[in-house]
Chains A and B, each alone.
Chain A
Amino acid sequence: MIALQLPIRRDSFALDINLELPASGISGILGPSGCGKTSLLRALAGLDKHNGGKLAVGDHCWQSETVFVPAHRRGVGYVFQEATLFEHLNVEQNLHYGLKRVPEAERRVSLQQAIELLDIARLLKRKPAGLSGGERQRVAIARALAVSPELLLMDEPLAGLDFAMKQEVLSYIATLQQQLEIPVIYVSHVAEEVARLADHLVLMDNNGVVASGPATEMFTRLDLPLAQHSDAAAIIEARAVRYDEEYDLTSLEFNGGQITVAGRAASMEEIVRLQIAARDVSLTLEQQHNTSILNILPAVVEDIYENSRASVTVKLSANGVPLLCRMTRKSAQELGLKAGLSVFAQVKSVALLV
């Protein structure tokens, strides 16, 4: 468990953050620019000191009234928004910089592991000046991993990368978490990145922490702006069970039923994240048979939120798995939707998040 209590005081800025985060998996911190996400991360790393703050990670106290552990003794890895590589060293020397300062007994991640995971073996002898943005960021991540951190902090590591590089670096981050079991705190203002990676989600706005909880739950909570937004989407984790060669379709199973997506979406038995946008879901009271829609899931209406006089967001439970559906208030009324009603959710499209 990571427990922090931070009174952040600046000239024109006062923020009190009280937060508990799980000490495993990826915790996403999502919020608009300037809401204090980076301040939070810097305080965790010991780069800034906020008087009166308290910070405990597992059994270690990093800050209290009497204690302040400086950054270089905290055992964190930090990936900054812009990959700041040491320009006077080549890639290999950059990786060694942190590694050689960690006593051998404390090394849990080998350099080889970090290099392979981020796929940078062919860059080792290059100078940072000759690398692309994506390569620089991968080296920076590998360098942070090479110190075997107890906690990996990532501050918008994808900002400034183009779409293809973003996808690439994202998949490296997802893999490293699965293989190394280092807890990650990932700061971003892009809901999509967090949706793809986070197990736990902290939602921030300019007044501090709005809510904190398991990511799948947070994306579908009707009292939070994430679900009220027109881009609202539910995230489900599903296991690939079948690939249909003839139609090039993959079937995936989750608690709420089965979902079919186009293409060879995953290797069999692999667990992947799917994103179902609220506006791609429609509801019927009886199961439709003559329809082009493949994915029809039985569900129960849990709650209805009026976004405006014209539109509502309906929260559904497909055997306990939350889903969202966005429709006009008129349709909701004509269907007689209310909590507890059994419906069929027709899912028009599903996006694969991995």
Chain B
Amino acid sequence: MLTDSDITALLLTIKLAVLTTAILLLLGTPLAWWLARTRWRYKFLLEAIVALPLVLPPTVLGFYLLIALGPNGPLGGAMLQLGAEPLAFTFTGLVIGSVIYSLPFVVQPLQDAFVAVGRRPLEVAATLRASPLDRFFTVAIPLAAPGFFTAAILGFAHTLGEFGVVLMIGGNIPGETRVLSIAIYDHVEGLEYARAHWLSGGLLLLSFVLLIAVYAFNRRFRFARLQGSAL
């Protein structure tokens, strides 16, 4: 069964996924809303940036984050100057990496959901005296609820399975950065196949259940929209 260190890794992974999902929903909602509504000519540039983690090898992303967050990097250096510890090889660094890594999995379903809501219900709300913020919270968000559900589950599930980014910027510090996928890798390296089985099987099952939930709840869901949809 699971050893203590496996359980520590499991809890850390869940903590990371929950935190990442929460941050992504907070940041991704306004971004997705803006992408869904703007008529800016060059919004495709931003959409391409959001989609980048879909195609980029996680190690590449992790590598650049390591450089940026490390003591000699622009962000890490600045933090060092301010008296803070650099973020490389910390849980916070891991959260930052995960947020970037899972960004498209949250932003794209939200953007699709907002596009599907369309302008009309919001115009109706405007003629019913609702201010822009009011109609965003009372019309746009409730009508886009299936998109939020999909976004939350995909963001969560995708963060669970993260490996390359963690390896690059998190390393393998038990209780701090040693997440499930790293623990599995360790077990395989150490030829502890039985323990690797437990963790891998569990992760497989969990991911499958989460995706079933997404597809069952949101029948029209399409995975990974790479092109911006026309508004």
Q: Which residues of A are interface residues toward B (Cβ below 8 A)?
A: 45-47, 70-74, 76-78, 80, 82, 84, 86-88, 97-98, 101-102, 143-144, 147
Contacts and interface: CB of A to CB of B under 8 A. Distances in A.
Contacts of B132: 72
B192 interface: no
Interface stretch (B26-34, B121-129, B170-178, B220-228): B121-129
Interface of A is mostly: loop
B124 A80 contact: yes
Contacts of A70: 126
9 contacts: A72-B126, A72-B132, A74-B127, A78-B127, A80-B120, A86-B121, A86-B124, A101-B128, A147-B128
Contacts of B134: 72, 101
A98 B120 contact: no
B57 interface: no
Nearest to A76: B127
B130 A86 contact: no
Contacts of B142: 86, 88
Interface of B: 120-121, 123-132, 134-135, 138-139, 142-143, 145
A97 B134 CA distance: 11
Given A47-B123, A80-B120, A87 B143 contact: yes
A143 B145 CA distance: 24
Contacts of A71: 123, 126-127
A78 B124 contact: yes
Most A CB within 10 A of own CB, among B129, B132, B134, B145? B129
A97 to B, nearest CB: 5
Nearest to B131: A72
B129 A98 contact: yes
Contacts of B127: 45, 47, 71-72, 74, 76-78, 98, 144, 147
A295 B124 CA distance: 48
Given A98-B127, A98-B128, 11 more contacts: A47-B127, A72-B134, A84-B120, A84-B124, A86-B124, A86-B125, A87-B143, A97-B138, A101-B128, A101-B130, A102-B129
Given A72-B130, A87-B143, A88-B142, A97 B125 contact: yes
